[in-house]
Amino acid sequence: MQKEVQNNQKTQETIVRFDNISFEWGVNKPILDGVSFTIRRGMKFTLMGQNGAGKSTIFGLIAGLNIPESGIINVVKGVSIATSRQVIPKGEMSLTVREFFENALALRERGGVRVKVYDIDPRIDDVLEVVNLKGYLKVHDRIMNTFSGGQQARLLLASALIQDPDLLLLDEPTNNLDKAGIAHLTKFLIDYKKTVLVISHDAEFLNAFTQGVLYLDLYTKKIEQYVGNYFNVVKDITARVEKENMKNAQLQKEIQAKKDQANVFAYKGGRLRLVAKRMREKAEELEEEIVDVRKEDKSIRPFNIPSQPDLIGEILHISSFTTMKNGKIIKHKAEISLNKNNHLLLVGPNGIGKTTLLERLASGHADGEKVKDGIRIGYYRQDFSTLNFEDTVYESLASAMLAGGEKLDEERMRSVAAGFLITGEFIRTKIGDLSEGQKGLVAFTRLVLQKPGLLILDEPTNHINFRHLPIIAQALDKYAGAMILVSHVPEFVKQIRIDEVLDLEK
């Protein structure tokens, strides 16, 4: 009985505590302002917030990679932490799988000396089985950049799992995963006995295991903490905001009425000026009662991606393509022709060759696939490598406008950018300093300015706030050029007109 009580107490133990934490990136770029919350052992929390609010920054603070301006972060002594990152850093793309996991597991600083881990292959095999990647030929010696986006997502997850942490931090773990991969990850998290904090925009995935939500408000720079499954918490937040908005609206009406009365009495003069003064004082008292309502996430404005003018005849022809299966390249014959206003959906499991086909089409070096000369290609890559990370957002958008055949019109460019929530400091920021979600918004803004004849989209829902997705789907549905889409999100695809499907597995 004594042991059972001790175990229960340990389960309820707070392992991470943020006490009045403030943090900012550079001068006048506050991210957190007096944030306080706790994480208990064994709990599974979702970290929510708008793109760019600072969710990944909180992960960095928990892991000790970022240092707060003020406040105290208390992590219980002995608690190990591992983070599954959103993307593989460019410097690690040339590593072998074994070297990549050595970095994750054993290249830890001990007195300034990097430590080598021995007999790591069996441990790699164990975690690859968890993420459903075991069985690839000579996987330990394969270079990281030879894996598909979905396979890289699984390797990122596995690099955190191999550390067997007490606290697992998952940053957009479902990005690039196919249906089977998401199902595999969901089951793992449901069965996982340790503590998990997840950033994701996949509502169904989150609701399967979430026990609470930490909501980072972009406007107040504070965290609101809720207990319950994901759907119930979101419902509670929405109901509270609506109630407070209604109360505020009623108060505003009363305040305006008092002010109007005060103006009337003040105009009449005499003793009525005292009445006017009391009316104004009452209005001020009512203003103090207005609840500081959390502003809801803003959605991007509805938009259109203009197609290249004067599109005539066949834009794209595919007579053959290759796939990858069990480490072998297989060539297939096909007969696919895309003209203006044709939408093609490319499907197949992770690693079969979807991204490779898109890259070949975009580069113009395809064998068996031909894009008509003079066709402008708008390419949304899942890793945003079409963006120059050294450019500011302004420079990136200006170059897209020029590529679209327009003269630089700063007023129009800023107007388009504002529709994607790109304003103020955002437009002067370097691409490399943006969050992944913000890079996605820049990529969509560039497509609008480019006016492509062929639109190629590789997982365009990755990193994007769920509030934006219906608006993006509507724009793609109406796109009048030729389009090729890859997406593992059925709810998103259902909203887009698809004229033809190419299943690489079949």
Give the CATH number for residue 493: 3.40.50.300
pLDDT higher than 80, residue 288: no
CB-CB contact of 453 with 483 (8 Å): no
Which of 217, 234, 251 is the last residue before a domain boundary?
234
Which strands sit side by side in the sheet containing 369-371, from one edge to the other?
328-338, 316-325, 369-371
d(CA 103, CA 295): 41
- Domain range for 406 is 316-503
* 155 in the same domain as 45: yes
pLDDT at position 393 is 96
Strands 109-110 and 113-114: antiparallel
pLDDT higher than 60, residue 269: yes
* 57 in the same domain as 26: yes
pLDDT higher than 70, residue 297: no
* 226 in the same domain as 167: yes
Work out the mean pLDDT of the chain and round it to a whole number.
84
d(CA 312, CA 423): 37
Beta-carbon neighbour count of residue 63 at 10 Å? Answer: 14
* 404 in the same domain as 444: yes
Q: What is the pLDDT of residues 4-19, one digit of tens each?
A: 434 444 557 899 999 9
* 114 in the same domain as 76: yes
In a domain, 294, yes or no: no
* 206 in the same domain as 354: no
* 257 in the same domain as 183: no
pLDDT at position 308 is 94
pLDDT at position 109 is 40
pLDDT at position 2 is 41
Q: pLDDT band at residue 478, thresholds of 50, 70 and 90?
A: very high
CB-CB contact of 397 with 381 (8 Å): no
pLDDT at position 203 is 81
Q: What is the pLDDT of residues 37-58, one digit of tens each?
A: 999 999 999 998 877 778 888 9
* 220 in the same domain as 103: yes
In a domain, 429, yes or no: yes
Which of 234, 255, 278 is the last residue before a domain boundary?
234
Q: Per-residue pLDDT averaged across 354-358, rounded? A: 87
Strands 454-458 and 377-380: parallel
* 218 in the same domain as 88: yes
Which of 234, 264, 279 is the last residue before a domain boundary?
234
pLDDT higher than 70, residue 244: yes
CB-CB contact of 254 with 235 (8 Å): no
In a domain, 295, yes or no: no
* 396 in the same domain as 350: yes
pLDDT higher than 50, residue 413: yes
Query: How many independent structural domains does the chain possess?
Result: 3
Of 493 and 85, more confident: 493
Which of 227-231, 338-342, 487-491, 502-506 has maximum average pLDDT?
A: 338-342
In a domain, 33, yes or no: yes
CB-CB contact of 172 with 85 (8 Å): no
Q: pLDDT band at residue 183, thresholds of 50, 70 and 90?
A: confident
In this structure, what DSSP letter does residue 228 have? S
Q: What is the pLDDT of residues 117-134, one digit of tens each?
A: 677 888 888 888 888 776
In a domain, 8, yes or no: yes
Which residues sit opposite 47 in a β-bridge?
Answer: 214
pLDDT at position 8 is 45
pLDDT at position 425 is 83
| Range with lowest mean pLDDT among 183-187, 294-298, 408-412, 419-423 | 294-298
CB-CB contact of 355 with 148 (8 Å): yes
d(CA 159, CA 146): 17
In a domain, 301, yes or no: no
* 167 in the same domain as 22: yes
* 332 in the same domain as 267: no
In a domain, 299, yes or no: no
In this structure, what DSSP letter does residue 96 have? B
pLDDT at position 137 is 55
In a domain, 162, yes or no: yes
